[in-house]
Amino acid sequence: MKSRVNYVEFACGRKGSGKSELLARRAARFARRIILDFADEFAGAYRGAYESVGFGETLDALEDAVTRPNWIVVCSLLPEEVVKLAALLSPPGRPRAGLSYAVGGLALECGEVDIIAQTGAALRPEVANLVHRGRHSRTSMLLATRRPRDVSRLVTSQMDVLSIFRQQEPADIDYVASFASSDIAGQVAELGDYEHVQVMPHSGRVALIGADGTERMLLSAQTG
């Protein structure tokens, strides 16, 4: 697989399966991060982080943050406000006019992506644009959900890395089977604590990753 500086990673699995921990590990590689804190779990989590409530405060935080080389903005936004943030980061049609490009790239983290991109609900064009064209504005997205089947295909079709933690609901296992083989989907029900199956949809590579984050087994190397 072509290595991508900007990418979309999508993690799914049950409550407590390790999604946030994994994405936090990935996010640590980014100097500039925006965390959409819908579950109110990141208050006080990062020393020196900006914490904002609402779009206005988030704008103020970003305005201050961009003068620094490294920063984290933890924001509590309504879905409507995320639409405005998406347009600010990567304006539809003008990705290089966005904030992400101006700062040299950033990671947008969302642990409950079903809140902003639900199956069946119309995906807002600003959000769709960010997911589909975010690379052009240097936005990477680190996304997670407990309910993968509730996340719009318009989002999941863009992922570069899919990390699947233990799932037991048949509908979620079917979802996994749509990206990997049904054999692999079966294994997802048997995963141990914090283990996950990592699927690279572009190359077809599938691997079992252990709780310590290292690769345990190559499950499929198929390319194309």
Ligand X SMILES: Nc1ncnc2c1ncn2[C@@H]1O[C@H](COP(=O)(O)OP(=O)(O)OP(=O)(O)O)[C@@H](O)[C@H]1O
- Is residue 53 within 8 Å of 75, Cβ to Cβ? yes
Query: Residue 111, interface with Mg ion (CB under 5 A)?
Result: yes
- Phi and psi dihedrals of 118, rounded to 5? -85, 140
Q: Which residues of 25-64 are buried (b: 16+ CB within 10 A; e: fewer)?
A: ebbeebebbbbbbbeeebeeebeebbbbeebebbbebbee
- Residue 20 or 156 with smaller CB distance to ligand X: 20
Query: Residue 192, interface with ligand X (CB under 6 A)?
Result: no
- Residue 42 or 55 with smaller CB distance to ligand X: 42
Member of 124, 132, 146, 166 binding ligand X (CB under 6 A): 146
- Is residue 142 within 8 Å of 24, Cβ to Cβ? no
CB of 109 to ligand X, least distance (A): 11
CB of 133 to Mg ion, least distance (A): 27
Q: CA-CA distances (angstroms) from residue 89 to 108, 112, 131, 167, 200?
A: 10, 19, 11, 33, 26
Q: CA-CA distances (angstroms) from residue 167 to 96, 174, 192, 195?
A: 39, 10, 11, 11
Member of 66, 200, 207, 211 binding ligand X (CB under 6 A): 211
Query: Residue 194, interface with ligand X (CB under 6 A)?
Result: yes
Member of 1, 4, 16, 125 binding ligand X (CB under 6 A): 16
Query: Residue 18, interface with ligand X (CB under 6 A)?
Result: yes
Member of 8, 13, 107, 126 binding ligand X (CB under 6 A): 13
Q: Find the part of the chain contacting ligand X (CB under 6 A) among 18-26, 44-52, 102-110, 133-141.
A: 18-26
Query: Residue 19, interface with ligand X (CB under 6 A)?
Result: yes
